[in-house]
Structure 1
Amino acid sequence: MARRENPEINAGSMADIAFLLLIFFLVTTTMDVDSGISKKLAEKPPKNYDPPKIKEKNIFQISINRNNELFVDGDVMELKDLKAAAIKFVDNGGGVGNPMPGETKGKECDYCGGERDPGSSDHPNKAIISIESDRATEYGTYVTVQNELLSAYSELRNKLCQKKYGISFTELEESYKDSGRKDQDLKRKVESIKLSYPQIITDLDPTSDGN
């Protein structure tokens, strides 16, 4: 009886298929990438630069300690209350602001809806939010604080834009982007709202001992 030989399997084509599948998964698979916070760093001032004097009442001091506890102007505050407190501070309108473009001197805020407390910020363009964190502060806490502050500015801008132009600032910006940033009327409106509520948020060097 003739000996029957087992047919050999050609593994070459299987290796090619496996290689193609590997390339396919590498090309089509998406990987999570941590996104940071968009920040425009201040330019280094000249040597002879004399910084302007800032009244303490125009500074909203936020501190985050190593235990991720939040302090505002020295008092403990819950994170859920930060947005409302920031809006109250920025929108206070208790005095005269810095001159707007085309103005020779500053004026009182005629669009602010705050309490006009003379002990709080004078004007949105003078209101400074200062953040100091500890080196051991969790990154997630820091980002959440930043998001609450940006949300406060967004609410103020949307409210003013709706009042002046009958559209939210978010929609106004989208319309301006859709125009390829070429519509000069939309550009003027966007810049007007931004100048009315400029985002002045500063970061101090992290501490190492916390509160």
Structure 2
Amino acid sequence: MRHSQKSAPQVNAGSMADIAFLLLIFFLVTTTISADKGINRKLPSHCPPGTDCTLEINERNILRIVLNSKNELMVDGDITKIEDLKAITKVFLDNNGNGSCTYCNGTSIVSLSDHPKDAVISLSTSENSNYATFIAIQDELSKAYYELREVYGYSVFGKSPDKLNASEIIEIKQAYPFILSEADTK
């Protein structure tokens, strides 16, 4: 009598590795990887051409903002909430301290800036400062400039920001230049 042994059918596993490899390559090639853009801010050169970098800045034209290691925001030595920073910045920039600004709406407070073109915002941070808080401060400063520029656009050109042409945008940016000095505290 013959003994019958049935062998189980076998699957060729050699091609399985090839298929897995091809799928891996397919997904690597077709996947898009997003790139983080970071902060959209152009860093100034050491000393821009046509600028006197040895010129001393009057103390009243500097708004000193400090973010310490405990993430406390200090504006000119006083602890301040981030929510109040935009209003403080707008009052500082639009002050018209020397009376020469024809478009400023400020109240000419003696301790604040002479003119928006002379105003400098000094932002100092600790190396232990929270990055999210730093970005929130940057946002508030940008909002202050945007709102002042928007008011200028309406009063001078009678247009909303999205209706301005390139030369009008340049004029607005020259009226309220974003002069920001960033430094790390020791």
Q: Does TM, scored on the shorter chain, surpass 0.5? A: yes
Rg larger for:
2
The residue number in structure 1 matching 2:80 is 77
How far 1:172 sits from its partner (Å)? Answer: 4.5
CA distance in structure 1 between the aligned counterparts of 2:30 and 2:89, rounded to whole angstroms: 43
TM (norm. structure 1) is 0.74
Q: Contact between 1:172 and 1:190, CA under 8 Å: does it hold in 2?
A: no
Distance change >3 Å, CA 12–CA 55, structure 1 → 2 = same
Q: Is 1:90 the counterpart of 2:93 in the alignment?
A: yes
Q: Contact between 2:62 and 2:121, CA under 8 Å: does it hold in 1?
A: yes
Amino acid paired to 1:193:
I
**Superposition pairs for residues 1-211 of structure 1, below 5 Å?**
2-29=4-31, 34-45=36-47, 51-95=54-98, 108-169=100-161, 171-172=162-163, 186-204=165-183, 206-208=184-186
Q: Contact between 2:47 and 2:53, CA under 8 Å: does it hold in 1?
A: no
Aligned residue for 2:154, secondary structure, equals: helix
TM (norm. structure 2) is 0.83
How far 1:144 sits from its partner (Å)? Answer: 1.5
Percent identity of equivalent pairs: 43
Provide the aligned C-alpha RMSD in A.
2.5
Structure 1 runs, 4 residues or longer, greater than 6 Å off: none
Distance change >3 Å, CA 29–CA 155, structure 1 → 2 = farther
Please, which runs of 5 or more residues in structure 2 have no aligned partner?
A: none
Aligned residue for 2:172, secondary structure, equals: helix
How far 1:69 sits from its partner (Å)? Answer: 0.3
Query: After superposition, what is the alpha-carbon deviation per residue over 1:75-106, rounded to whole angstroms, capped at 9, x for unaligned?
Result: 1101111111111111112225xxxxxxxxxx
Amino acid paired to 2:106:
G
Distance change >3 Å, CA 71–CA 32, structure 1 → 2 = farther
Aligned residue for 2:181, secondary structure, equals: strand
Aligned positions, number: 181
